Chain A
Amino acid sequence: MIGTLLTPALFVYAGFTAYPVGRTFYNSVHLIKPGGVEQFVGLQNYAQLLSSDLTFWRAVVNTMIWAGVAPLLDVGCGLALALCLYAGVPFARFFRVAWFTPVLISYVVVGILWMWIYNYDWGVVNALLRAVGLGVLARSWLGNTSTALAALILTHLWKWAGFNMVVCLAALHALPSEVMEAAELDNCGWVRKTIFMILPMIRGTLIGLLILSFVGKMKVFDLVWVMTEGGPLWATETVSTYVYKRAFGWQTFDLGYPSALATVWFLVVLAFVLGLHGLLRQREPLEY
């Protein structure tokens, strides 16, 4: 009985997850050309990507900047919004719906919307700058190597802040009301209440969100592909877009090298997740 129930899921898992992962490892030490040509090359792909592939390293730096900055922005912004709703501002229901909606929109749509927002001639950003007399600051936000990555990070924040808000709000509503009331009796202001009581009590949730956001940024592909395709001049190249380009864009017709890239990045993500989880895990659970 157990077997019958589990077989379909295990079959799908084996065929479409476990086998492809193994196949990628296998690919990464081969030269894979169309028509079933496979030639063992040992660790040559790895040596090449670690020593001489400057584009790969550029992609790594971009991705790490993104994954380093964005979790703090995402969770910080989400927490601030959740605290506002928790403090009981009017129209809370309307705000929650309006703030959560971007989470549900596909990256393709988000990308197109923000390409228009960043448009040089008539985009919202430049229109606002010109309206307040700061027209000199107007620029092609996505076409400029110094602003393109920041522009993408902001767009990603726009999409995900609402998600972090909802999760934080759920954690806040689960806080024991006696403790919060006791703080109010002691005349504890919102700022101190937040720093000394709320943050320690929802620490677990915040850490979960930080790791989730970090993993998301390490994998980021869709938004970059729609908005900049990694350009201008690799300013927004991420590891994911580079793997895609090497596999399907560059006409090298070799799946071995991109597989090595994917394998390295898979191990890096795994190491980071295990490391962060071990580092940030609550050592002794808070009792209240």
Chain B
Amino acid sequence: MLLCVLGGYTAFSAGPFLWVAIMSLRTTSEISASHYGLPSPAHWQQYVTAWTVSNYRTYFWNSCAVVVAAVALTTVIGAMAAHALARYRFRGNRAILFLIFSTIIFPAQITLLALFQILVKYELFNTLTGLTLVYVATQLPLTIYILEAFFARTPQDLFDAAKIDGSSELASFWRLTLPIGRPAIATAVIVNFILLWNEFLYAVVLITDEDKRTLPLGVQKFMGDRMQDIGMIATGVMIAVLPVVVLYALFSKQLIQGMTAGAVK
């Protein structure tokens, strides 16, 4: 009985993916004839068409460029700040951490319009560079939060010993904090990657050119322009989802840790 309910919930939760995955292998005319049919034969050609003709290739590489650059920058900047906040006692230490972390609850609109003005002013509006910088700022609080919590748990003795051995402070960041903090850094990288890969609000405001669209924006605009082309939309959706699914399959533990950081305290 309970298993029936759980099975039903699983169908509710996973069913939509199965449906879209099946549709992505069928042509729109096949889908119109029967919306719940199986792909026979499977049209892998759909993916080639989406990639080359429907411009998903451009969206995919834009997403990759923005997300990889933003995650790299966030990780470096965040790790430096987290190290400083976790290792050194100074006035205002906790205040800085609180100030940065509290921005997590801010509605995006409180910065969105002003960011638009700022990017226009510095000619970064409608550029991937501008979007990348904004993404760094949006992910920095969570990154610092995850890393600071982990770095603070590294025993201070290790750092004292390194100091006595004549290691410089930069070297202790490089040789101790970073290698020891690898699990936390991996968590932060993966969760930032997924959140930015899926990001839509900043992209829709800050990007207007077709050839600069990221995947979520590209998929949404494609849907708006060609509402009826269900097969091709489904294929585009799969292109947007597959990298996330692969990451989830490989790093499910870190992903769940990162996504739920901050909620469990």
Residues of chain A having any CB pair with chain B under 8 Å: 1-2, 4-6, 8-10, 12-13, 15-17, 19-21, 23-24, 27, 32, 81, 84, 89-90, 95, 97-109, 111-114, 116-117, 122, 124, 127, 158, 161-163, 166-167, 170-171, 204-205, 208-209, 212, 215, 218-219, 221-222, 225-226, 239-240, 243-244, 247-248, 255, 258-259, 261-263, 265-266, 269-270, 273
Pairwise interchain contact A104-B248, C-beta atoms closer than 8 A: yes
Which of A112, A114, A208, A255 is the one whose CB lies under 8 Å from B264? A208
Pairwise interchain contact B96-A6, C-beta atoms closer than 8 A: yes
- Say whether B52 faces chain A, with CB atoms less than 8 Å apart: no
CB distance from A282 to the nearest CB of B (A): 12
Pairwise interchain contact A205-B264, C-beta atoms closer than 8 A: yes
CB distance from B137 to the nearest CB of A (A): 3
- Say whether B142 faces chain A, with CB atoms less than 8 Å apart: no
- Chain B residues with CB under 8 A of A163: 259-260
- Say whether B240 faces chain A, with CB atoms less than 8 Å apart: yes
Which of B112, B240, B265 is the one whose CB lies under 8 Å from A208? B265
Pairwise interchain contact A106-B100, C-beta atoms closer than 8 A: no
- Chain B residues with CB under 8 A of A255: 113, 116-117
Measured CA separation A226–B114 after assembly (Å): 23
- Say whether B133 faces chain A, with CB atoms less than 8 Å apart: yes
Pairwise interchain contact A89-B256, C-beta atoms closer than 8 A: no
CB distance from A277 to the nearest CB of B (A): 10
Pairwise interchain contact A113-B16, C-beta atoms closer than 8 A: yes
Chain A residue nearest to B3 (CB atoms) is A89
Interface centre among A21, A222, A225, A263, by most chain B C-beta atoms within 10 angstroms, is A222
Which of B14, B111, B114, B197 is the one whose CB lies under 8 Å from A106? B197
Pairwise interchain contact A104-B10, C-beta atoms closer than 8 A: no
CB distance from B245 to the nearest CB of A (A): 8
Pairwise interchain contact A109-B219, C-beta atoms closer than 8 A: yes
Chain B residue nearest to A3 (CB atoms) is B84
Chain B residue nearest to A5 (CB atoms) is B84
Which of A12, A109, A162 is the one whose CB lies under 8 Å from B241? A109
19 A-B pairs whose Cβ atoms sit less than 8 Å apart in the complex: A1-B84, A4-B80, A8-B80, A9-B144, A10-B96, A17-B111, A23-B114, A32-B117, A89-B6, A97-B252, A104-B245, A104-B255, A106-B198, A106-B199, A106-B216, A113-B17, A208-B265, A225-B200, A239-B109
Chain B residue nearest to A22 (CB atoms) is B114
Chain B residues 87-135 with CB under 8 Å of chain A are 88, 90, 96, 99-100, 103, 105-118, 133-134
Given A101-B14, A109-B241, A221-B108 in contact, is the A27-B137 Cβ separation under 8 Å?
Answer: no
Pairwise interchain contact A170-B260, C-beta atoms closer than 8 A: yes
Which of A13, A170, A266, A273 is the one whose CB lies under 8 Å from B137? A13
Given A6-B84, A12-B140, A269-B107 in contact, is the A113-B201 Cβ separation under 8 Å?
Answer: no
Measured CA separation A12–B100 after assembly (Å): 11
Interface centre among B17, B114, B116, B241, by most chain A C-beta atoms within 10 angstroms, is B114
- Say whether B20 faces chain A, with CB atoms less than 8 Å apart: yes
Which of A16, A107, A117, A208 is the one whose CB lies under 8 Å from B111? A16
The total of chain B residues at the interface (CB under 8 A) is 81
Chain B residue nearest to A256 (CB atoms) is B113
Known: A247-B116, A262-B109. 7 other contacts (CB 8 A): A6-B84, A6-B96, A108-B217, A113-B237, A218-B107, A221-B108, A222-B201
Measured CA separation A262–B115 after assembly (Å): 13
Pairwise interchain contact A208-B13, C-beta atoms closer than 8 A: no
Chain A residue nearest to B198 (CB atoms) is A106
Chain A residue nearest to B109 (CB atoms) is A262
- Chain B residues with CB under 8 A of A84: 2, 6
- Chain A residues with CB under 8 A of B106: 17, 21, 266, 269
Pairwise interchain contact B6-A226, C-beta atoms closer than 8 A: no
Chain A residue nearest to B84 (CB atoms) is A5
- Chain A residues with CB under 8 A of B107: 218-219, 239-240, 262, 265-266, 269
- Say whether B173 faces chain A, with CB atoms less than 8 Å apart: yes
Pairwise interchain contact B259-A17, C-beta atoms closer than 8 A: no
Chain B residue nearest to A259 (CB atoms) is B113
- Say whether B35 faces chain A, with CB atoms less than 8 Å apart: yes
Which of B81, B90, B114, B223 is the one whose CB lies under 8 Å from A8? B81
Measured CA separation A127–B35 after assembly (Å): 10
- Chain A residues with CB under 8 A of B252: 97
